[in-house]
Structure 1
Amino acid sequence: MIKKSQNKYVFKIITLSMVFGFVACGEDYVPKPKAYLRLEYPKADYTKSQLDLPFSFEMNKLATKIKSKNLSGTTTSYGLDIEYPTLKGTIFLTYKAIDNKKENFMLFLKDAENLTQKHMIKADEIPVTVYENKEKRVYGLFSEVKGDVASPAQFYITDSINHFLTGSLYFYAKPNYDSILPAANYLQKDMKHIMETVEWK
């Protein structure tokens, strides 16, 4: 015959076994992956640049901060920062005059290619698109750098005689390809539009 104290003990064991049994039969807990906000950006509205530079182009009105600087103290080299505060990104443009010298052209071309090559270590892939507009004498290359890299896109364009222009995209935040992808895609379209609308002076 089972005593009352033993009876309570057996009841507790049976109750706990049933609770564990029900819990074990449930679905396994899987932590939710990190989510990113779905960002919507306004349709691009472009206007022609009114800057004292050896070239003109169309830029998005969403870029509210433009910083232009002479890099060499002469009319041969300029830097231009096109800032997008709402997207936390900047397109950096660098202009250099070739002065009809083949050695200058080859040096500028090598520097532009090296900029993209620096990101190859962390890049998943780098699709390249050739750009050519014979009528405007604009020839170049657009590189999209996929992966957790500092600059997800670069380009260079030139007439191969007098003008050489490079562009690169950077974000203020630590690079995380998934989180910056919507903004990167948006600004890459702006970069391509700059390439397509450049006119040499």
Structure 2
Amino acid sequence: MRNLFLFLFLSIFISCKEDLLPKPKAYLSLNYPEKVYENLKFKRPYSFKVSKNATVINDKNNWLTIKYPKLKASIDITYRPVNNNIKELLTEAEKLVFKHTAKAEQIIPKDFVNKEKRVFGSIYEITGNAASHIQFHVTDSTKNFIKGSLYFYAKPNYDSILPAVNYVKEDILRLVETLEWKE
């Protein structure tokens, strides 16, 4: 019995050399390239500044795809001429935004107006596990209409992709702010 007591005492004494502490919470550390913009290189009825870190793909009908290969994301830009159908174009754009209400936690609209350049529109930030996290449309209300959507090529997990959404959101804001219509 004495040996058993001595053995237990020594094993407890020897095994407790260091205090065990819980591991601190880990935070994802993402580094994104510095923002550098250039003018859109394709001839379109519009122009804007686009990130040099993105690849711009020329599509038919004055459409574009702005790809972010490292983020597995793209901004799909569609262009439509306005032919006395501005109300229809706006309704269609808003329908596409509100298709995401089933998965979205919140849809936050922000209006954009630049009277000098005749650029009017809205940007919608969609929170939650929706397919698209930012959608926007801009128009001069008489001749031109652009709609854009941000997509990630991954299963929607908003918390995980939020830093990437915020990174691309800056590029979308820059796009809208620098948009000009060609006459």
TM-score, normalized by length of structure 2? 0.84
Amino acid at match of 1:57: F
Partner of residue 137 from structure 2, selected from 156, 162, 165: 156
- Taking the aligned partners of 1:115 and 1:189, their CA distance within structure 2 comes to 22
Aligned to 2:128: 147
Q: 1:142 to 1:38 in 2, by over 3 A?
A: same
Q: How does 1:1-201 map to 2 (within 5 A)?
A: 37-63=28-54, 65-70=55-60, 77-99=61-83, 101=84, 104-201=85-182
Task: Tell which structure's C-alpha radius of gyration is larger.
Answer: 1
Percent identity between matched residues is: 45
Aligned to 2:16: none
Amino acid at match of 2:38: T
- Taking the aligned partners of 1:69 and 1:81, their CA distance within structure 2 comes to 7
Computed over aligned residues only, the root mean square deviation of the Cα atoms, in angstroms, reads 2.6
SS in 2 for 1:183: helix
1:2-35 per-position Cα deviation (integer Å, ceiling 9, x unaligned): xxxxx9xxx9xxx8xxx9xxxxxxxxxx9x99x6
- Taking the aligned partners of 2:118 and 2:27, their CA distance within structure 1 comes to 42
- Taking the aligned partners of 2:155 and 2:28, their CA distance within structure 1 comes to 16
- Taking the aligned partners of 1:43 and 1:49, their CA distance within structure 2 comes to 18
Gaps of 5+ in 1: 1-6, 20-29, 71-76
TM-score, normalized by length of structure 1? 0.77
Aligned to 2:15: none
Task: Give how far 1:36 is off.
Answer: 6.4
- How many equivalent pairs are there? 175
Gaps of 5+ in 2: 13-21
SS in 2 for 1:160: coil
1:121-179 per-position Cα deviation (integer Å, ceiling 9, x unaligned): 11111111110000000000000000011100000000100000011100011110011
- Taking the aligned partners of 1:60 and 1:111, their CA distance within structure 2 comes to 28
Task: Give how far 1:69 is off.
Answer: 1.6
- Taking the aligned partners of 2:27 and 2:133, their CA distance within structure 1 comes to 18
**Which protein has the bigger strand share?**
2
